[in-house]
Amino acid sequence: MMSIDQDQLPPNKESSCPDDKGDSIAVGEISSSFTAATQFDKGDTVNKGQDQGTSENHGLKSNDKDTPDPVAAEESTSSSSEALDKPNDSTNMKRQLDSPTNEDNPSKRSKPQGETPEPAPKPAPETPSVIMNGSSAVSKPEAAASADSPSEQMDVEERSKSAPTSADEANPSPPPSEQSDAMDVDETKSSSSDDEDNDAGAAANAQSDDDLDFTFDLIDPALAGVMKLEDMIIPKVEPLDRLTFRDLAELEAALQIGDHYNYGEDDGWKGDWAGNLDLFRKEVVVNKNYLNTQTSAKPIRIDYCDWVASNARNKNDLRGLELLFRYVYHMKGTPSMAKKILAYALQRPAQSSEERLDIIIKAATRMNYDPIVLKQDGWTIQKTDNPEGPLGGAIYIGRRVMWQKHEAVVVAYIPDETYGGLWKGVFLEDLDTFDMEPGELQMGLKKLENKTRQKPTRSNAQSGSTRFAATAKFTVPGIENGIILAKPTNRASKGIMWPARVRNVVEGKLTADGKVRRNSSKNQIHVIFLAPFWNAQDASVSKMSNATDPYSVGPLFEYDTIEVSEYNIQEYTHNSISIEQLETGFKFLGLPKGVFARYLDSHRLAVSLKAYSLKHMSKNRDSEDQLLASASLTESHILSVKAPIFPDVVLMLPFDYILSKLTHPSELAASSLGNDEDTQEPVIDIDAIVHSLSPPECFGKTSQEPRNSCLTPEALPSSPDPNFTPAKSAKRALQLASEENGDTDAVWSINRFASDFLVGLFQRESVDDYSVEGVGQLGTLITNLVAKLRQTCSAYPGYGMHKKVIELKKMLCQCLLIKGHGEDCIEYSSIPHGVSKVTIITEWRKACERIYKRAVSKLSFTGVGNGVTSVITDSRCNGHITQLGSFERPVRLPAAIKGAKRAGAGRDPNVLLLTEVEDNYYNMAENVVIPKAHKKTYIKRLKTKIQSIPPDQKGVPLTDDSDGEGGDDTMGSRGSYAAAVVGIGASLKAVDMVVTGKCVNVFCAIRPPGHHAGLELRPMQAVSNGFCLFNAAACAAIYATTPLSQGGLGLRRVCVIDFDVHHGNGTQDILCSTYDPRYLYVSVHAGGAHINGFEDEGSEDESFRHLLGGRKTEGIFPGRCGDTSPHKGVLNIPLGQKVTASAMGSALVSQVTPRVEEFSPDLIILSAGFDAHENDPLGMGGLSAADFGSVTEVACQMAHKTCSGRILSVLEGGYGIPCCRPRNDLFLPTTSEERLLDLGEDLPSNMDDEVHYTLRQKLDKCHEEGFLECVQSHVQSFVKCNIRK
């Protein structure tokens, strides 16, 4: 048995319980806190009816012991008396007691009435007195019954003063008189305890099969089967012992409740037995001692039952839960059947602590739905034929409801003064319970009715699990390789998705003692987290590592069990180690910079294990149905069946030593070339390491046998295609960069642009089994293109500036046209078996983009080409004037320009500020592009509406329909039409500048926004147009993909990425209402089906809508359209009620980046909305300005990897601009404390900024950081990423 670490105890104390000075048990840091009782004198720990042997077993009775030993009971009474005679040195542990009944002063109670023993028939003292018990002062109702008269209290105090101090005198036999007094002191508690225990035991054991049969008669037969009433017969059990003072103090210290932890009226205890029973799920802090020494550390919390189980050493070592059960057992009001279940859970035979814990948890769950318990607790469990009152009452018992997306059944009803009535529901799958108010019950009934109407009822043969049906077939791509991103259960991880290895079902589950047992949960998987950072604060393991990094001192691997859901598990998409990409993704996690080394190590391990599995491990070839059958037979999840079984030699490799020899992240960052080819760190070759452990390598000799491996040190192929060629290595890229300054034939060789694989296809002259028809002609095209570029570069210095711009545009456009033509040729060519068409197309695109980058690099000059960022705006956008109180204020544009200037626009010669949109772009927008994006009826309606507005009027609804609805949030003035058209013209100009090489990236500072404007009014059933008139992002994409013959640029693919807090329903409606291979629309936004509700076929319910920035009903604007992705041309990623940095970063890295790289666009357009900022008045985001900069960097990295960095952004939302003009309020005088945002010359003199007082208060916090800083960070990231190499 484990003993207490005496160094952790307060001085001169015998217990691990807290005292009033603040010394407390270090929960989680003293693993034997619940075995403390065995270290004290028998009198401190003995319970009624227990001898010393049962005390050592923590009060768990053996089943063959049906009655208490009377001798032990007599010794128990004497020992309890001796416990009160023990001395106490700490006067700070004294507590004031109430009167014996505590009835006159209920505010003094520290426990519910159920824990108060019946008072002895003795007069209450006039003044409160103090009782000391061991080293813990107890101010509880029990103590009031232990010393009922002043004379007895004086006897206790006198005995405390004259208590022995030597070891020989520690437990002398007291004189007969003192024995009598001691017996009197404990007699009240013992007698009342005996009476109540006996009554409770008799009542519990009297609950026979007759009651169960009676319950069967009351419960519907179908419900009885669901609730498994036939398994509810419990044998005779012994009553549980009442807690002693020491037990009670020990339980409070472990649960971190009571007067010591709560100084208000609420001491943590609940007023009912069920509420106190539920404390086994309470979170406790497990690193309190560490927090006392490290003020900057954060508390680590864990469920109480999990913590007790983690410290258990044997099947009876769950003292913390036993104490809680005993406490609930003796509460007044605890049903007798509940007492029987509690006792049986502690006395039922168990083979291990895990089995005992499982029994206890099942018992706690059962008491929530057991019909006898419910009946005894006042619930009605019998269905009535007629409604009871206006709410219906028990008539709903037996009805099924939809609750939290799962089917449940109503099993009981109870009247309630507050709500009128409550109904208890039980999930059909796992018998978890919940209570419903009248409105919630009706909603649950309606949701089930809607679901039944949508889908036909399954036959009995197909019926099965309902609660886990949604996750039974859940899987993630790449699970066959064993690596995923998972959310740890450890709260210190902050809920961050982290690389993990999935354990196969045959590997089983690790127990606390390191043993393995088979998994028994079909909705859970067991994983090993790789290089976790959150275990660094565990002092017990920090000594195992020699790492100097404070976040790397913990174990390199951590076992965990996680629930299977899309919120806890994601695909692991990395195939190689890109330091730049990992650094950008790390910024979203909100972790200290020191964690990055651990973050890098986790991905190094993940990629190496994934590479080993991909190449050297056989895959499971069973069908999906066979895998599901295997999962069902093993009672596990299909992910555990699909996961590979890594060899023991691989898992036992000294990874800690291997990682310590790799380059530190700071050195990698310093040596990074920043190459567009995405220079990558070599992947750890696990197979080579394993081979080196066997002869002849282990003898220092080289094997002559070639190893079956195509894995290159530079990268891991995205597919097992043997013809895939990786990107150039860092060494090769550096060599090429140093040679490009010359004009030799080697510099302009086609091998500098095309991979060896592609060149090999070009050079095949004979038509054989391995040739690709038509590829030889592409070799001629690319050779001629390179030759023309070389010729242009030679003559370029003699051209004038205008001539240079024209030649640059011609060269780049020709490059992109040949790229598209080559894709068509390959797509329609006959590809022989064994050659991947996807690989050929990928290599062709890379070759053309390398030529494009060489052209930009060679033909650029100051202010044009490589290294140039532009900001485009136009003062005509200020003509759009909204109403007072609108979030979309005119000052948004001056604030955006101010932010861009802070990033260098207009000051840096390579950061251009263009303040005018030429007429040709305006006319093109109005006459050519806008009619392609919006229906003519919508354009005509909007134009007519705006033209009818008087010149001096503003804030007029623009998008209301014939019924006058839909225009509440989208208002404007006479200049709104010109402002919207010029915004479209700015986006067209930006596309021209980026594609033709005048700059690398462009930010369009325009308004009004546009991503909610669709083909026609209020697209995709939105309630309004959300401040938007014409869609700039969609128009830019249409212009870019329009053929040259029709006035466009002829690009093949354009990707639109929308990071506004709202879904861009208008953009999706215009570009992707049906699948179009030219477009990929990606939206990362707030929302989700659990917020907006589920779409019902044929339903006309519009209750799940609300206006953008206006009145709310339920859900997030524009509604359900962004909750799902209708086809592969759309990737909608709803992030919940609020957009957080970690969720945004995880979505960008794990979902957006792979999809965009697979799509391989020729241009990326950003719908840049900044309303997900933490200070935005909409209150739907949690991002900082730096986070928006990181989002922009990730997008730029995708652009550099797929389309030579071609990217532009258009301004959408973002409303966190402080007031710019003084208040002009007749009723609220202007005060000297009013803060205004100074926009300087960027704020037109004739621009007003009228804001309601309530909105002003919300905007005040934007002085610290808001919309302006977001735009600044966005443009700064563009400038940072505007170099093509």
SS (H, E, C) 497-540: CEEEEECCHHHCEECCCCCEECCCCCCEEEEEEECCCHHHHCHH
**What would the pLDDT profile of 172-218 be if each residue is shown by its tens digit?**
344 433 333 333 333 333 333 444 444 444 444 444 444 444 444 55
Return the DSSP state at 481. Answer: G
Judge contact between 947 and 973, C-beta under 8 A: no
Q: What is the pTM of this model?
A: 0.63
pLDDT of residue 506: 83
List the beta bridge partners of residue 763: none
The pLDDT of residue 60 is 34
Region of 443 please: left (phi>0), alpha (psi -120 to 50) or beta: alpha
The rounded distance, in Å, linking the Cα atoms of 1073 and 1055 is: 15
Q: Look at residue 579 in the predicted model and tell me its pLDDT.
A: 85
Residue 1074 has pLDDT above 80, yes or no: yes
762 against 993, higher pLDDT: 993
Do 277 and 363 contact (CB within 8 A), yes or no?
Answer: no
Give residue 1227's pLDDT band: very low, low, confident or very high (50, 70, 90). Answer: low
Q: What does the pLDDT average to over 610-619?
A: 89
Query: What's the whole-number mean pLDDT along residues 17-33?
Result: 36
Q: Please state, in angstroms and rounded to a whole number, the distance separating the CA atoms of residues 735 and 738.
A: 5
pLDDT at 547: 53
Question: What tens digit of pLDDT does each residue of 1086-1122 get?
Answer: 988 778 765 443 344 443 344 444 433 457 889 889 9
CB atoms near residue 952 (< 10 Å): 7
pLDDT in tens, 566-594: 878 988 988 888 888 888 888 888 888 88
Q: How many whole angstroms separate alpha carbon 394 and alpha carbon 58?
A: 43
Q: What is the rounded average pLDDT of the residues 1052-1063? A: 96
Q: Give the count of beta carbons closer than 10 Å to the beta carbon of residue 1181.
A: 28
Average pLDDT for residues 989-1010, to the nearest whole number?
Answer: 96
According to the per-residue pLDDT averaged within each range, which of 310-319, 856-865, 1035-1044, 1112-1121 is highest? 1035-1044
Whole-number pLDDT of residue 554: 84
The average pLDDT across 271-299 equals: 81
Nearest-angstrom CA–CA distance, 1189 and 1269: 10
DSSP for 206-264, please give it: T--HHHHHHHHHHS-HHHHHHTTGGG------PPPPPPPHHHHHHHHHHHT-STTT--S
Mean predicted confidence (pLDDT) in 47-63: 35
Q: How far is CA 1092 from the centre of its chain?
A: 19
- CA 644 to the chain's CA centroid: 26
Contact 255, 282 (CB under 8 A): yes
Average pLDDT over the chain, rounded to an integer: 75
Which has the higher per-residue pLDDT, 221 or 745? Answer: 745
pLDDT of residue 510: 52
| 722-737 residue pLDDT tens | 333 333 443 444 344 4
CA–CA gap between residue 117 and residue 101 (Å, rounded): 9
Weakest mean pLDDT among 100-109, 128-137, 790-799: 128-137
pLDDT (mean) for 927-951: 94
pLDDT at 1261 over 60: yes
What percentage of the chain exceeds 70 in pLDDT? 69
Q: Tell me the C-alpha distance between 13 and 35, whole Å.
A: 16
914 to 897, 899, 901, 1002, 1166: CA distances (angstroms): 11, 15, 12, 10, 19
- Residue 374 · residue 412 · CB < 8 Å: yes
Q: Which residue has the higher pLDDT, 1204 or 86?
A: 1204
Higher per-residue confidence, 964 vs 1125: 1125
- Please classify residue 167 by burial: count the beta carbons closer than 10 Å to its beta carbon, then call 0-12 exposed, 13-18 middle and 19+ buried: exposed
Q: 1028 with 1066: CB under 8 angstroms?
A: yes
According to the model, what pLDDT value does residue 632 have?
79
- Give tens-digit pLDDT for 326-355: 999 999 889 999 999 999 888 888 888 888
Task: Count the alpha carbons within 13 Å of 953 in the hemisphere toward its beta carbon.
Answer: 10
Task: Name the amino acid, one letter, at 982.
Answer: V
Query: CA 496 to CA 590: how far, in whole Å?
Result: 9
Q: Which residue has the higher pLDDT, 612 or 494?
A: 612
**pLDDT tens digits for 897-925?**
999 999 999 999 999 999 999 999 999 99
> Which pLDDT does position 705 carry in this prediction?
57
Whether the Cβ atoms of residue 912 and residue 905 lie closer than 8 Å to each other: yes
Instruction: Annotate 1182-1194 with three-state secondary structure.
Output: CECHHHHHHHHHH
C-alpha to C-alpha distance for 500 and 559, rounded to whole angstroms = 9
User: Is the confidence at residue 309, as pLDDT, over 90?
Assistant: no
| Cα–Cα dist 234/232, whole Å | 6
pLDDT for res 1105: 40
CA quadruple 950, 955, 961, 963: dihedral positive or negative?
negative
- Rounded CA separation 98/105 (Å): 7
The Cα 266–Cα 240 span in angstroms is 27
Check whether 1072 has a pLDDT greater than 70: yes
The closest alpha carbon to 942, from 957, 928, 929, 955, belongs to 957
Tell me how far apart the alpha carbons of residues 884 and 893 are, in angstroms, rounded to a whole number.
17
Max Cα–Cα distance, the chain, nearest Å: 121
Q: How many CA atoms lie within 13 A of 179 on its CB side?
A: 10
Number of C-beta neighbours around residue 678 at 10 A: 18
The first and second tokens of residue 546, run together, are 């020699």
Beta bridge partners of 956: 972
* H or E stretch covering 932: helix 930-933
| Residue whose tokens read 């955006």 | 896
Q: Which pLDDT does position 356 carry in this prediction?
A: 85
Measure the CA–CA gap between 48 and 194, rounded to whole angstroms: 8
With pLDDT > 90 as the criterion, what percentage of the chain qualifies? 35
The least confident of 112-121, 353-362, 1113-1122 is 112-121
Alpha-carbon span 383 to 409, nearest angstrom:
12
How far is residue 74's CA from residue 90's CA, in Å, rounded to a whole number?
30
- Polymer length of the chain: 1285
What secondary structure does DSSP assign to 765-819, as a single string? -S--TT--TTHHHHHHHHHHHHHHHHHHHHHGGGS-HHHHHHHHHHHHHHHHHHH
Specify whether the CB–CB gap between 1070 and 987 falls below 8 A: no
Among candidate residues 1002, 1138, 994, the one with its CA nearest the CA of residue 1062? 1138
Whether the predicted pLDDT of 676 surpasses 70: no
Is the per-residue pLDDT at 9 higher than 80? Answer: no
When mean pLDDT is compared across 519-528, 666-675, 993-1002, the lowest value belongs to: 666-675
